[in-house]
Amino acid sequence: MTFDDTAIDWLAKLLSDAAIAEIMPRFRRLDEGDIRQKTSAADLVTEADVSAERLITVRLRERYPQAMIVGEEACSDDPALLQGLGEADLAFVIDPVDGTFNFASGVPLFGVMLGVVVKGETVAGIIHDPIGKDWLIGARGAGSHIRHAHGTLEKVHVAEPAPISQMTGAVSWQYMPEPERSRLARNQTKSLSQFGYRCAAHEYRLLASGHAHFVVYNKLMPWDHLAGVLIHAEAGGYAARFDGSAYLPSHVGGGLLVAPDKETWRELRRELWAE
């Protein structure tokens, strides 16, 4: 079966099903053995991540047997699974619990993310909020919307451009090497206010719905950003890697700056990296 826009409803329900079956029953009920470290004490995986990804993967394989499926936890065990994402005819990229640190800490800021890639281009993104029971959905050329739990659709749009002194944003300087780390941490204070959710799902929601202006990410794993960047773009925003090049599904480095428009992107790139 090939992918088309009619599959969005099915995919949205799939993410909700995974949250209902595997994520929410474990929220604030994890035992010590249900949480493991990956690369550090801030990089965790739980039984909810593993079980939700397994459920989503099984359902996707049933409906799309020829598709490439890239799940965060599967790739953590076997990084070679990422190879070929930029060339696949059809690929689904899964972050079963984005914001695992929050989830494991009992903080209700986490989401389920899915990006759809066709021949190297992200064509759809879905971010499901298991707490709010709604979805942020974007499709190439069709805009971005919040689908509320009661069924209504709300079109979203990024914030209007503003001077950096009036912007709200987030800079993940903690993942940067020096001297860039200190420079970005210092220059972030030029903005009006900052946020840091430790959850890309909710940060992209904040940006796409116009409640914040920018984010800077250093680490580019596709499950963290493909869905969010597509949704943000369809909400009128602009994103590019630090060198100004387009962000593609095959990229895992080069950093990412997300802004309301290209002109604002240029201003932020100049001001945040200023000596």
Binding residues for Mg(2+): 72, 95, 98, 224
Specify the residue for token string 């929601």: 205
Give the Cα separation of 43 and 192 in Å (integer): 29
3-class DSSP string for 98-155: ECHHHHHHCCCCCEEEEEEEECCEEEEEEEEECCCCEEEEEECCCEEEEECCCCCEEE
87 Rama sector, left if φ>0, alpha if ψ -120 to 50, beta otherwise:
alpha
Straight-line distance from the first to the last Cα atom of the chain, in angstroms, rounded to the nearest whole number: 52
Give the Cα separation of 23 and 46 in Å (integer): 10
Cβ partners under 8 Å of residue 109, min gap 6 = 99, 102, 197, 198, 199, 202
Q: Which residues pair with 259 in a beta bridge?
A: 238
The count of other CB atoms within 10 Å of the CB of residue 182 is 11
